[in-house]
Amino acid sequence: MSDVTVNLLFLALSLVLAALGAAVGGWLQHRSWQHQHWQQMRSERTRAALPVVERAAMLVDKRLFAQRRFLWTLRGGDQTDIAAALTEYRHAVKDWMENLGRTKAELWNAFDKDTAISFEEILHDKFAANGRKLESRYRSGERGGLSAEERELNKLGKRAYEFSQTLLDRISKEEINGLSGHNRLSFQNWENLSSTYLVSRLLGLASDR
């Protein structure tokens, strides 16, 4: 084999190795960018979801407190206390209605559609039904009683607490919009179809989160 042929072979091999090195380097750089992008998105989504839960919880607490106070004053029968509690209750309801649409939209954006619907069905509808009963009692002039309505509010308080805790738990598990299902094998997540990832899935080291 002549020197020229050997040199050409070395040149060809060098070009192949250079191309392979560039391809591997580009792939590693792309994977590094993906990882950094994912970590940034995790942080942003989590930071955005927490205030949503806090605002919803504060809205619920404000209405629950005002509605309970209205009930207690109706039971007591003092007209001055009733008037003050009624004003506070109506302010709470007004604030609730003004923020209901935004709260549902934020829950939908941070979590999902079902979470927004649950907020309306589990909390809003129950608060409204209980409030109508209290307002009816106020208009009737009848005082005392209201044990059933108080039990409803106690249940609502428990449901509101559980609702908030569930959302906080979902945030800690990254079961929120944009993060949930990141490792699920799909066309959208084709980059997960690597040999390392598949082995991890096989050994149970990677989750579907």
More confident residue, 206 or 115: 115
Instruction: Kindly tell me the burial class for residue 106, based on how many C-beta atoms sit within 10 Å of its own C-beta (0-12, 13-18, 19 or more).
Output: buried
pLDDT at 33: 57
Express each pLDDT in 18-53 by its tens digit: 666 666 666 556 566 555 655 566 777 788 899 999
The Cα-based distances of 171 to 76, 176, 185 in angstroms read: 42, 6, 22
Domains of the chain: 49-178 (1.20.120), 182-209 (no CATH)
Report the predicted TM-score, pTM, of the whole model to 2 decimal places: 0.69
pLDDT digits (tens, 9 = 90+) for 135-154: 999 998 887 789 999 999 99
pLDDT digits (tens, 9 = 90+) for 108-130: 999 999 999 999 999 999 999 99
Q: Judge residue 143's burial from the number of C-beta atoms within 10 Å of its C-beta, 0-12 exposed, 13-18 middle, 19 or more buried.
A: middle
